[in-house]
Structure formats: structure tokens, C-alpha cells
Structure 1
Amino acid sequence: MELNSMTLAISLSIFTLLILGFVLYRHKQLHFLALAFEHLPKPIIITDQRARILTVNRAFCDITGYPPEDVIGQTPAVFNSGRQDESFYRQLWYELQRNGHWQGEVWNKRKNGEEYAERLTIASFRYPFRKQRYYVGTLTDISQNKADEATIERLAYYDTLTLLPNRKLLENTLQKALKKPNETKASGAVLFIDLDDFKSLNDTCGHGMGDLLLVEVARRIHACLDFEDATVGRWGSDEFVVILENLSSKLALNDAIQQAEWIQSKLSEPFTLNGLEYFSACCIGIALFDHRHSAQELLKKADSALHHAKRSGRNCIYTFDPSIQQALVQKLELEKDLRHALNEAQFELYLQPQVNSGGCLIGAEALIRWNHPQKGMISPADFIPLAEKSGLIVGIGDWVQEEACRLLAGWKTHPTLAKATLSINVSEQQLRHRDFVAKTLNSLNVCGIEPAQLKLEITESAVMLNLDECADKLCQLKQHGLEFSMDDFGTGYSSLSNIRALPLDQLKIDQSFVRNLLEDKSNQTLTQTIITMSEALGLEIIAEGVETEDQKLALEEMGCHLFQGYYFGKPLAYTDFMAYVETAGACFKNS
């Protein structure tokens, strides 16, 4: 009996020691867990089922700025920044209850009032044998990520100088506007704005001054927008775009024009740039919304209206006209075809006779014609401006020169054309090309012709853009025996001293003087002055555009004895010109 009592006592003692050891072990475990929770680098928050905060760790306090005693017993609403509305939190709790977890981005507020973005993960759990639910949340501060994303977005979608939306964001904004349901039958408009003569400010005062103007222009345009749903952005360089949404369909055009006029008036007021007073102006093209078209198509319409406004002068406004677009499309198609014309041998030279007072042929002017395979003969007035704008004029001019030399070479053994001169037009771009002299001499040498038989016709405007450079090139060619004629003389802005600086052989009276020579006294005076001046300078004089016997006689009386015009012969294809030579009984000067 005593042994059993002793055994029981020992067993109880051992059990007590075991229980005590287990309790101490669990306490030590909990202590370790508490230390781990406190020192985890990940911010953690634990709440009860009513969202009251039970505990937070040190990392949470560091990121929010709140000590534990300020938040324990509170709800997470204490961190609310106000950026998310009630519906956001209702959806959060709904998903948390349904799935047992939630993850997403939340904007909260630190104790100092600073707002920050966090990526939050919440999970629910229960203690064993308990019904009460608890929630544990872990978060990551992603404020720097958001700041980086904002910087990337700003660089991608905003102009760094004016801070306005850039071209990409404008296109996106316009595309969204065009895709909106149009149940209200609302309309809208695009205004394309271009500053007049902005390049001059950059060239004279530097790009820094130009940037100051652009910033101020952006501010003024933004300040004078009269419509709530309006967006202004910088398209590029000195171009800005305004998008007006939700305009009344009936008044859309009128509202857009009024807005454009208001912008113009504000931009016409003087600017002060680093103490310098500067006056600016702008042209504006307007296109109304068409929900059937894309943003790019609508912007093209506004841009074409802008180009029409700029052609009309400074400070002009123009609304899009479908006929303009059609003309622009045709122009682009023509330019595309023009790029293939040289390689596909679609050009040919027509020759217009030049005669003296006795009616003898002294030479001809070579005039380019484009025989389009589908559109037939295209006037130089239609394709030469395109060639000049696109830079193709240099290659076309080289072809004309080479072809003219080839024709002259073929006339060497001709009984009546062996000493004829052939005049060709030289464009401003061709004249300024660095290889102009070398290419001209090479054409002469390859064909083996007398340089004096090739007469280069230049215009006043082409030469006066860079007189010294052009004079130097012409003098180099003059040393090799080439002759030069100033075409369209009297229509430009050259002075007598400039004319004397050039190695000219001939002045050509423009047809605009000849056309009204008999009726217009001022034309008679100007024509007589040109003839008298040419005699004083020892230059040959020829009149173009002579169409009647009376015009010829009047010019002869004034002292002009060389002529070109329909009265003597229109521009002829080569075979027709050769037939003309054979039947006209042509005679030639001996020089």
C-alpha cells in the first residue's frame, strides 16, 4: 500500500514536471514567435472579426509613422487617405468573406498626413475550437514604384517643355472621344494651331528664347479654353492641338470658330521674353468630329485646313473643306508617281523656237513634259512645285541637262542646227547643289558639245537667295564658255549692282509684261526700262510670251529683236520640232 502511494506520488510529480516543462516550452515558443513577429521586415497588422486592430509589428509602425498605442483598438479606417470610396471597401470585404483572402493596391495615409501606395494582402484565420475569425494583413510600400510609373507615363505622354499632353496622348484622347456613344448627338472639333514665323525667333534670339515663347503660348491657350471638355496639347515644334468635346451639333462650327478667334486674340497680345517684347500670331485649322473616322483621319483634316490657312497669310483661320482633302490626296498620289517617273523614262523635252526679227530660228528653249502612263500629259505647273518641295527637282534638272546635251550632240552634223543654242531652266536647289559645276561640265564633256551652245536660264529669286555662292559657280562655268540668261527678269527683287555681279549674257523679259504691253502704260515703261538697261550693260535681250504681230512690232520699236512665244511656235515634241525646222526655212546666227 505504501509502495503504491509512493509510486503515485512520484508519477504525479513527474507529470507535474512534464506539464511545467511543456508550459515553459510553449511559453518559450510563444516568446520566440513574438520576437519574430516584432522583428519581421514585412509590415504586419492583425485585427479581430470586427476589424479592430489587435497588434502591429515594428515594420508596420515604421512605414505608417504610428506607434502601437495609437492604433491598437482602432480600425484600419484611421489610415484612410480618401482616395478609395466606400464601394471599394465594400467590394474588398465581400471578396475577403467569400474567398478568405484579398490582395490589391490601396492608397493610405501616414501619421504625418503623407499619402502613400501599398500592396496589401489580407488573409482570415481562426483559433482551433473557436468560432471567432481574425485577419492578418501584410503590406509593401510601393510609393517609389508609383512615382517611377508616373515619371515614365509623363515622359511617354506629356511634353517635357510645356508639360502639356504630347502627340501620342492627344491621339489617344481623340480616339476615345470618337468612340464614346453618341446618343446625345453631341459633336466636337479639333483645332490645329501653328505659330507664324516661329523659326525667325529661334534663328535670331536662340532656341532658349523660342522655348520661353512655347511655354507662354501653352499657358495662354490653356487659360482661354471656354469649354469644360477641352484638351490642349503640343503636337510638335510650334504646333498645338485643341480637342473640344460635347459641342452642340448645330452650333459646333460656330463654337469652334469662336474658340479659335479667342485663342488668336490672346496669342496676338505682346509676350515678354527675358525682358524682350515680342509679338506673335498664329494660323488655325478646324475640323469637326466625324464619328465614322479615326483620330488620325480627323487630325489630317485639321492639318490640311491649317495648311490652307497658312497659304492664305498670317493670323488666318480655315475650316476643313472636303475638296481640300481630295486635292491633297491627288497631290500625294502625284508626288508618289513623280518618284518613279525618272526611272521609268516618263519625261521628255519639248522645244519652243526662239527667233529674231527676221523670223529666223536662232535656237530653242527645252521645256520638260511629263507623259504619265495613265493620266497622260501633266503640266509642269502641276509637278514642278511638287518636285521642288520633295527635293526631286535636282535629279529632274540633271536629267534635263543631260538630255539637252544629248540633243545638241545629235545636231552637230545637222545642216541647219549645228550652231543652234539650247536653253534650259536651272532650279534654285540645283544651282545650290555642291556638285552643280562638276555635273554640268561632265555633261558637256561626255557629249562633246560646244559649251556656248548650252544656255542656262536662272531666275532672279534663285540667285538672290545666295548671291555670292551662285555668282562664284556661274563664273566657274563661264570660264568654260557657257552662257547664262536671267529668266522672268523684272518679276523679282534684284538690284542693278547684283545683276552686274553675275556673268550674264542675256535678259529675258517676262511674259507678264508682254501680255498687256499694248494696253498698260506702266508695262510699256517697265519693258522699255529693261531693254535700255540691257543695252547699257551689253546684254542680249529676248522677250517671251509673244503671241501677236502687234506685240512683236511694239517690242521691236522699243529695241528688242529676239522673241519666243506662240506667235512663232508653241513647245513641240522633238520630232515635231525637227519637222518645223525643215519646213520653216530656218536660218541661224553665225556666232
Structure 2
Amino acid sequence: MKSGSGLYIRFLAALAAAVLAVLAVVVLVLHRQEVMRNEVLALGQESMHALAFDRLAERSEAAGMELAASLVNPLYYFDLEEIGVLLRATLKQPDVAYAVVYDNDGTVIHDGSRDIRSYGQVMDDAMAFEAVTARAPHIQASDEALDVAVPLYIGEVRLGGLRVGYSLASVMADEQRAANSMGQRLAIIGQRHAGWIATLMAGLLLLAVGLGVLVQRTLVRPVRQLADAAREIEAGNFVAELPASGRTDEVGDLMRAFGRMRESIARHDRDMRRMAYTDALTGLANRLAFRESLDRRLMELHGAGRQLALLFADIDDFKRVNDTLGHDAGDEVLVQFANRIREAVDRLGGAGSVLARFGGDEFVILVESVGSDSADMREQASHLAETLVAELSRPIVVGGRQVFLGTSIGVTLFPDDAAGATMLMKNGDIAMYQAKVAGKNCHRFYSRAMDQAVERRVSMEQDLRGAWERGELSLAYQPVYRLEDRSLVGAEALLRWHHPEHGMIAPSVFIDVAEQSGLIETIGPQVLRAACADAVAWRRDFPASNLFVSVNVSPRQLRNGDLAALVDHTLAQTGLPADGLHIELTETAVIGDELRVSSLLARLRDAGVKVWLDDFGTGFSGLSHLRRVPVDGVKIDRSFVADVLRDPDDLALTTAIIAMAHSLGITVVAEGVEKEGQYDVLRERGCDLAQGYWLGYPMNVHDFRGLLG
């Protein structure tokens, strides 16, 4: 009995030990399964978070750079309406929390709202400093948002920057939902297997081992494979192999869901790439795509003896379309232009040609030669450029109206002109500018001399800055006489520049530089104040003279819209009566925006200031402006006056201008009177006023006062 009892007890002990061992194994297995589940869940959540965040960052940066490229021209011209349109379009995109354009000091220029509620406010949030000081696209993130800052440059000049904020709430919510779903499904699987093990744990140790193997094969390995695939997808490999998804359980659902997620991410990546590399309006490649294509092509051709031609095309006077017909019509013009360029490039550019819209009304074309002869490449590029100029000169019908535009094209060759993409683009831009200078609607090839011309222009622009303060700029006055009795009635103020090294600079040269660089917006008001102050001195020292002074206003000053306020302030500051000031505008400055200009000129005339139309007869529509633009006088261009004694046509045209103007109650002034016969003919035809070398040369203020005394 004792022996049996001992054996029984030992059996019971062994049985108990076996049960305890099985229980320990079961507990250990269950514990290990829980640890594994948590590891898998953490790994999956980490991979999904990294993947989603990186995709959002890449998408946000690409979208920000594309938007920044569209904002450069509007910001350069301070076009708040266009900036607002672009920002509001961005704010409508999913997850965009804010979109702000700011200047170099971090002051808000536009926030996308229609009333620009934060205009002029300095950005002071935690991420503002890094955004304002960034010199390249910069991404930073907080717990709530992803901030993309892109500086806006025109050339090498930084105009300001763009900030776009993407809310992370939806990303975090998606991650949490996916993690919860994965956790729940893993928990269900774990509970199911745990229940199965608990039911069979009385002596089914081998089955428990088999169950562990089963779990490893049916759960852990697929999830690890999913994690490996997630890392591949994170690295950009969207064709990473996934485990077979023929299973019908939760793991199968998870694998199929992961597959759908991969396809969705791949589709969104393709969409983002298409958006990042395609111009939305014309469907052409955009600046980013073209630059990458150019860099790749140059790398392939280095040392290969092949030639490339880059054509930089810019639509002439395109702003006139937007100003007169509206931006919708402007977009339609761009689309038609793009189609014409595409057809010409497809026909003449060859198989390796690339066409892109570089921004605004600029297009770039890359053409590759079939051989190594640079002469053949030059001939091919010249033929394509001539064809484009001809094709784009044909009228475009928009809204039932014909629009006539031209195109200036700059052509540069690789490797003759440059060996790198940056210099090649710069040379193409320089050549295009020279085509503009040459009269527009033509093409020019880049040459070294163009670089020198650009350097001279840049040097002149630098010297022109501060020239007024240094006393280099001064005013000369050309007297204006009444033809009827040859009495002095006023003077035209003319700007002169005496450079300390180069002497006198022709006004036609430096005024164009001032206009193009924007310096005219600083020099113009200074000229106006000085001329008004001199006129006040004439009237004070010679009360009987009652002379007026006429001041030329540039098209750029006219476009700014604050000319009336500037004139009011200047008259109040100097004390000159309004009737003592005549404002002169060129006819071409009025063309294209007559409605707005008419309103501006009406304000000046209501204040008592006289408005004259300068260089009359050289514009596009001549006398038709006199019906639509409120002016007090017209100045007959000197080209008509020069030949009134020889050319019957010029005499007839001058006579018609005088008669038409008088019928509308408008004063007529003749420019360029250099002979007595011209003076007599104009007086006989009833011309009111005249100026020219025969009557008096431009003179400094001291000599002009001598005419009065």
C-alpha cells in the first residue's frame, strides 16, 4: 500500500508536475503571444506613421513649390487679386489649414481671405522664424500641423515667401483607426487561439507546440512580411511583394486591406507626381519637370558630341489681354498658344524635343540634334524659332474677338554657349530679352556680347540708384510757346543724368532702365516735386508769367493707381495751383486699360490738373482714344512735324489731327519744331502751342529764368 501509495503519489505528483508544466508552457506561450502581438502592432503603426508622414511631406513640398512658382509674377507686380485667387484655390484642398504669402520681414501680404484679415501683421508663431529665414523650401512640423515654407525669388532677388500649413489631424486619425483595427483583429486572433490552447492544455503539449508553429506561420510571418513590404513602400517601391491574400480570415482581410492601401498610396503618388510635374492649365510639363529633364539630358550628352538647343519664348504684351479681356480670356490665349507651339515642336523639333510652360506667358523648348554638327543644330533651332514666330503671330479668336500677339524667342546652344543647365537657362533668358529689345515678335541667338550688354544694364541700374540724392540727376526745361502770338506759356520738364564717369547719359537709355527696374517709382515723384517747386518759384518771382510746367508720367507709375493721390500731395506740399501742372502720358501707356486710366485721369482733371497725350499718332488706334480717354491736350509726334513741309500725307494727317482735336475742345501742341516754315504751317493750320529747337533748346532752371527776366 505504501509502495502503491508512493507510486500513486508520485504519479499524482508527476501528473501535477505535468499539468503545472503544461500550464506553465501555456502561460508562457500566451505571454509570448501577447508580447508578439504588441510588437507587431507597434511595428505596423510605426511603419504606417512614417509612410503617411513622409508621403504628406513630399506631397506638401511639391505642391508648395508649384504654388510658389505661380505666385512669383503676381507678388512681383503686387497683384493681390491674383495672389488671393491662388491662395483660395489652395485653401480648398483637403487638409490645408492655412496659406500665407509674406514679405522678407515676415509681414503678411495675403492670407487667402477676401478681405485679407491679417494683412500687414507680422507672423509670430513658433514656426515663423524658420519660415521667414529659409532660403530654400523648408518643412517643419508641430503636433497639429505640417508647415511648408517656400521662398519666392525672381532671378536672385527674394521677394518674400509662401507658407502652407497642412493639418495632421486626419493623418493621425487615420493612423489611429488603422492601429485600432489591427489591434482589435490581432486581439481576436489571439483570444481565439488562447481559447483553443486552454481547451486542449490537459496533456496536449505537442499540439501546443504545433499550435505555436501554426501561429508563427499563419500570423507572425504574414505580419512580418507586411512590415517588410511596408518598409519597401516607405522607400518608394510600390511594387513590393505582398503575402498571398487568398485566406478568408482576419489576417487575410488585413493582407488584402494592406494591398488596397498600397495601391491607393501608389495611385496618390502618381497623381501627386503628375500634379507636381504638369502645368494645370495647358497640360504641358512645368518648370520642375523641364529642369529635371534638362539636367538628365545634359548628363547623358556630356562628352557624347551631341548638340542641344534651348528656346526661351515669351508672349509679347500678354498683360494687355488680361487687362482688356480678363484673366479667363488670358487663360484661353495661353491654351491656344500652347497648342500651336506643341504642333510646331512635334512637327519640327524631333523625337527628343521637350516642351514646357515655364510660368506665366513663358514657354521653353529643348531640341536635340541628330548629329554633332553645331551648324546643323543652329539651323534647326533657327527654323523652329522662325516657324513659331510666324505661327504665333496669327490672330487668336477669344470670345468672338481677334487678339493679335507676337512672341519673342531667345535661343542658346549646348555646349557652345554653356555646359550647365543654370547658365543655359540664363543665356536663353538673356537672348529672349534681346529679342524684346530688337522690336519683339522675332528671335535672337545668344552671344557673349549679350552678357556684356546685360552687365552694362545691371551696372547702370546700380549707378542710377541714389543718383538723385547724389545730385547727378537734374531737370532741364524746354519752353512751350503759343503759336498765335509766340508768347511763352510754359515749359516741359525733362530729366537729365550726368554720370560722374560716363558723362551725359541719353534719357532714352536710362529712363528705360528705370522703368524696367522699378526705380521710376522712386525717381518719378522726385521729378514731380522738383518741377512743381520750380514752377512755384517762377510764378512767385515773375507774377505776370503765370507759366505751367508739364511733367511726363511713365506707364509703370500709371499702372500703380496712386498717381492722383501723389499729384494731390505734391501740389499741396509745393503750393502750386492745379492749373499750373500738366501731366503728360504716352498714347501707348493708355492702350489696354482705358477704363481704369479714364477713371484716374478724370480724378486729375476734376482737381484742375491738365492732362496731355504725348507722342500722339504713334499708337495703335490714334484719334479713337480722344473719344474714350479724358484729356485736355494732345502733342503731335515730332515724326509728323518733321515732314510737314515735304510730305503731303504728313501735312494732311497733321491738319486732320488739329481739326479733330479742336472739334472735341482739345488743345493741340506740336513737338519738334525746328524750322520757321514748320512754325508758319502749324500756325496757319490753327495749332495752339509748339516746342522745339527753333523755339528753344532744353535748358537748366537758371537759364530758363533768364527767358522770363
TM-score, normalised via structure 2 length: 0.56
From 371, 377, 388, the counterpart of 1:252:
377
Q: 1:250-399 to 2 correspondence within 5 Å?
A: 250=374, 251-260=376-385, 284-290=409-415, 292-309=418-435, 316-341=442-467, 346-356=472-482, 361-399=488-526
Q: Give the Cα separation in 1 of the matches to 2:333 and 2:655.
A: 48
SS state at 1:523 partner? helix
Structure 2 counterpart of 1:232: 355
Distance change >3 Å, CA 571–CA 289, structure 1 → 2: same
2:240 to 117, 129, 135: 117
1:407-445 residue CA offsets vs partner (Å, 9 max, x unmatched): 122234424775332222234454565443343233223
- 1:563 and 1:460 map into 2 onto residues whose CA distance is 18
The alpha carbon displacement at 1:289 in A equals 0.4
Seen in structure 2, the aligned counterparts of structure 1 residues 525 and 477 have a Cα distance that, compared at 3 Å, is same
Query: Residue 34 in 1 paired to residue 213 in 2?
Result: yes
Distance 1:392 1:378 in 2: 16
Q: Is the 8 A contact 1:220 1:267 kept in 2?
A: no
Distance 2:211 2:468 in 1: 88
Which of 175, 180, 186 is the equivalent residue of 2:295? 175
Separation of aligned partners in 2, 1:214 and 1:533: 39
Asked whether 1:448 is paired with 2:575, we answer: yes
Q: 1:35 Cα deviation (Å)?
A: 1.1
What is the total number of aligned residue pairs between the two structures? Answer: 489
**Aligned to 2:626, which of 498, 503, 512?**
498
Relative to structure 1, is the Cα distance of residues 392 and 31 closer, same or farther in structure 2, using a 3 angstrom cutoff? same
Unaligned runs of 5+ in 1: 1-6, 46-56, 64-102, 108-114, 121-139
> Which of these residues, 281, 288, 311, is aligned with residue 191 of structure 1?
311
Moved more, 328-337 or 247-256: 328-337
Tell me by how many angstroms 1:350 deviates.
Answer: 0.9
The root-mean-square deviation of aligned C-alpha atoms, in Å, is 5.0
Letter in 1 for 2:240: A
Aligned-pair CA distance for 1:367: 0.8
Separation of aligned partners in 2, 1:162 and 1:541: 48
Question: Residue 515 of structure 1 is aligned with which of 618, 642, 649?
Answer: 642
TM-score (norm 1): 0.65
Q: Structure 1 residue 187: deviation in Å?
A: 1.8
Aligned to 2:286: 166
* 2:563 maps to 1:420: no
Structure 1 distance, partners of 2:539, 2:318, is 54
Question: Which structure has the larger Rg over C-alpha atoms?
Answer: 1
Q: 1:300 to 1:523 in 2, by over 3 A?
A: same
1:535-568 Cα deviation digits (max 9, x unpaired): 6566554432122334334434444574322223
Q: Return the offset for 1:170.
A: 2.0
Report if the CA contact (8 A) 1:515-1:545 is conserved: yes
Shift of 1:502: 3.5
The amino acid across from 2:480 in the alignment is Q
Q: What amino acid is the match of 2:457? A: K
- For the residue of structure 2 that corresponds to 1:366, the secondary structure is strand
1:333 Cα deviation after fit: 4.1
1:407 — aligned with what?
534
1:294–1:488: structure 2 CA closer, same or farther, 3 Å change rule? same
Corresponding residue of 2:103: none
1:457 partnered with 2:584:
yes
Q: Higher mean Cα deviation, 528-537 or 319-328?
A: 528-537
Are 2:623 and 1:489 aligned? no
**Which stretch of the first structure deviates more once superposed, 323-332 or 443-452?**
323-332
Distance 1:560 1:160, change over 3 A: closer
More helix by share: 2
Tell me, yes or no, if the aligned pair for 2:634 and 2:669 is still in contact at 8 Å: yes
Deviations 1:207-248 (CA, angstroms, capped at 9, x unpaired): 775686477568646744654444333323454333234542
Does structure 1 retain, via aligned residues, the 8 Å contact 2:601–2:630? yes
| Contact 1:212-1:273 at 8 Å conserved across structures | no
Point out the structure with the larger strand share.
1
Q: 1:245, 1:404 → 2: CA distance?
A: 57
1:566 aligned counterpart, secondary structure: coil
Deviations 1:243-269 (A, max 9, x none): 234542342212333455677788899
Tell me, yes or no, if structure 1 residue 528 matches structure 2 residue 648.
no
Q: Distance in 2 between matches of 1:417 and 1:486?
A: 28
CA contact (8 A) 1:541 1:560 kept: yes
Of the structure 1 ranges 386-395 and 297-306, higher mean CA displacement relative to structure 2 is found in: 386-395
Q: Which amino acid aligns with 2:675?
A: T
